[in-house]
Chain A
Amino acid sequence: MALGGFPALAGVDVLVRSGELVALRGANGTGKSTLLRLCAGLTPLTRGSASVLGLDLATQRDAVRSMVGLLGHDNGLYADLTARENVQFVAQLVGAGPSDVDAALVRLGVDARVAATRAGALSAGQRRRTALASLVVRRARLWLLDEPHAGLDSTARSELDGILREATRSGATVVYTTHESDAIGAHIPRTITLANGVVARDIAARVGIAQSEGVQSEQPR
């Protein structure tokens, strides 16, 4: 996997099982975001092999995209639509109904006042919640979150952690990136550290891991 002639990922060999909650850490430029975009089917695989939810990333990217929800550094919201309209728009795209929108907003703690506010006027935390509600409404089986805690206060961070744990309890797999300097909570079952485009460390608690296909990526060094 090369960007601008330099290998962004140069030997990542990792298996994530269904229902796992995985923190991907590393300094800037170590390939965390590239790995997420690759797994989301947004960046083509140039070398090596990878499968997501049992689908080959080299040949089935469209199918992968339909089952994966990626939340990048930005929230992907339209500033001139309200929070509810943003989630409703996603619901229309994925064939979900109005009740799914309501349920997602409630689950993410987006109250009626916030839901009726244009996304451009929301706080960072409220925008993050709205973006996460979009992932919920689309029933993504794999959540890929790029530094989801960035810009959130400690309360919002704790709430986000709760949301992510709840997502894994309901069957979703969650992989999120976090900056090297961020504190990694003891509650994270597994932490993978990337350095120079390769896996430098993979610390996994051997509990609570469901057996199923998840994310598998192997790239030649």
Chain B
Amino acid sequence: MNTVFAIARKDLVIEWRTRTLLARVVPFALLVLVLFAVALDSEPLILRAAAGLVWLAMLFATMLMVQRSFDLETVDSALDALIGFVSSPSRVFFGKALALFVQLFALAVVLVCAAVVLYGARIDGSGVVLLVTVLVTATLGLALVGTLYGVVVANLNGRDSLLPLLALPVLAPLLIGAARATEAAFGSDTIDMANGWAWAALLAVYAVVFGSAGAVAFAPLAQSDS
């Protein structure tokens, strides 16, 4: 576990110094929310779409964060060195996913708060527990899938455009689940709490599946010849 935390800490220290999340990703994601609000221009429509818009903005932001995360590793061939320094490459996968999770979770909290302010979304007592669960499970899924696909495209030309092309279809189920569960947490009358919890459980399964896939596939993907 020390290796996982050391790798996550390294990524977070670099993020703290470069302020990529604060300076680029948060403004970008907030801008997406604002533009959607302007484009829809209908309070009931915006309120109904709020949850989906939050997670759509999270998906776009995830692409930026994953690219940044693997740019760090490819600029000076650090990933090769890193793989050489650890006994099990899967620890690199979980370390990078953990750092991504921390950053994406912080972003998700900001975006939910923005949805409350911009869209008038409401969260009651029971909704808070569901919302926190969804934020954790969906963000974990985003981080794990992002890290897995990040290493797939890490050494490819045109990786900036390849990453969304490959990862977004895989993230579609997560988008649906997270949007539906968040809708329930926001007290929407189109989905009840019980259904919201069912979607949250599905998100947890999704995270476990991609966590397992990443643990197995990361090593051969990271060590493929380029």
Given contacts A42-B84, A78-B72, A93-B3, contact A73 B14 (CB under 8 A): no
Q: How far is the CA of A74 from the CA of B10 in the complex (A)?
A: 19
Q: How far is the CB of A124 from chain B (nearest CB, A)?
A: 12
Q: How far is the CB of A91 from chain B (nearest CB, A)?
A: 9
Number of inter-chain CB pairs below 8 Å: 76
Q: Mark A66-107, 1 if CB is under 8 A from B, else 0.
A: 101111111111111100010001101111000000000000
> In the assembled complex, which residues on chain A have CB atoms less than 8 Å from the CB atom of B80?
42, 70, 72, 76
| A44 part of interface (Cβ distance < 8 Å) | yes
- Range class of the B interface residue count: 20 to 34
Selecting from B85-93, B100-108, B115-123, B189-197, the interface stretch reads B85-93
Q: How far is the CA of A75 from the CA of B14 in the complex (A)?
A: 17
B84 touching A69 by the CB < 8 A rule?
yes
> In the assembled complex, which residues on chain B have CB atoms less than 8 Å from the CB atom of A92?
2-3, 6
| B38 part of interface (Cβ distance < 8 Å) | no
Q: How far is the CA of A73 from the CA of B86 in the complex (A)?
A: 20
Q: Mark B2-16, 1 if CB is under 8 A from A, else 0.
A: 110011001001100
Q: Which of B1-54 contact A (CB under 8 A)?
A: 2-3, 6-7, 10, 13-14, 17-18
The 18 sampled A-B contact pairs (Cβ below 8 Å) are A40-B84, A42-B80, A42-B83, A42-B84, A44-B223, A70-B81, A71-B81, A72-B81, A74-B77, A75-B77, A76-B78, A77-B76, A78-B10, A78-B72, A79-B75, A79-B76, A89-B6, A89-B10
Question: Chain A: residues with CB nearer than 8 A to chain B?
Answer: 3, 37, 40-44, 62, 65-66, 68-81, 85, 89-90, 92-95, 119, 131, 134, 138
